Amino acid sequence: MSDYFKQYIRDVKDFPKEGIVFKDITTLLQNPVALRETGEALTEFAKGHSVDIVAGIESRGFIFGMYLAEKLNAGFVPIRKPGKLPSDSFSQSYELEYGSDTIEMHKDAIFKGAKVLLHDDLLATGGTAEAAIKLIEEAGGEVVQVSFLIELDFLNGKEKLKNHEIKSLIHY
């Protein structure tokens, strides 16, 4: 399945910096057939789970995060970059190759005991998803699955998230 979906992904060399081959999902998104097939496959991953909330990580995680929320009859919660959410928020920082980054979620975004599916477009080192899981658990939610459009297997991000069910559609 992974190989099938790769036809829709564009490789862009030297983005965001020299030596990196960026996996561009916009070619998949702009194709209505690919968009539907991708959405259906991600929805299939969630089969058997009862999901109250889909949380998507800003900003590409909003895209199929919203698709999943609609298909699973769940609410949608945006996990955002610092200073974007207007009301009281939990905050989590995580390490990057150089320096660190922070994500936030409204404190009242998730009711206690809510079953949450976390979605992002890309699993690289897993730092962002790990921080997002902490936010959801801090709010009292239970992460029932973490799904990604793309996983970079060689970065072994799964290791950081090993206490959770991880599903990725496309593997490199």
As annotated, the active-site residues are 60, 97
Question: 91 by DSSP, 3-state: which?
Answer: strand
The nearer residue to a copy of itself, 158 or 172, going by C-beta atoms, is 172
* Per-residue x/- track, 27-46, a copy of itself (CB under 8 A): --xxxx--xx--x-------
By the rule CB under 8 A, 5 interacts with a copy of itself: no
Q: CA–CA separation, 116 vs 57, rounded Å?
A: 13
Q: Which residues from 87-146 bind a copy of itself, rule CB under 8 A?
A: 87, 106, 109-110
The nearer residue to a copy of itself, 71 or 158, going by C-beta atoms, is 71
- Among 1, 4, 7, 10, contact with a copy of itself (rule: CB under 8 A): 10
Which residues are within 8 A (CB) of 129 and not within 5 positions of it... i.e. 6 or more apart? 57, 118, 120, 123, 146, 148, 157, 160, 161
Kindly report the number of other CB atoms within 10 A of residue 132's CB atom: 26
Tell me the CA distances in angstroms from 144 to 27, 94, 149, one per residue in order: 29, 22, 17
Q: CA–CA separation, 13 vs 70, rounded Å?
A: 34
The nearer residue to a copy of itself, 27 or 158, going by C-beta atoms, is 27
Q: Least separation, in Å, of the C-beta of 39 and a copy of itself? A: 6
* 123 in Cβ contact with 150 (< 8 Å): yes
* Per-residue x/- track, 51-90, a copy of itself (CB under 8 A): -xx----xxx-xxx-xx-xx--xxxxxx-x--x-xxx---
Beta bridge partners of 10: 24
- Could you give the angle at which helices 61-71 and 32-45 cross, rounded to 10 degrees? 70
**Interface residue list for a copy of itself (CB under 8 A):** 10, 12, 15-16, 22, 24, 26, 29-32, 35-36, 39, 52-53, 58-60, 62-64, 66-67, 69-70, 73-78, 80, 83, 85-87, 106, 109-110
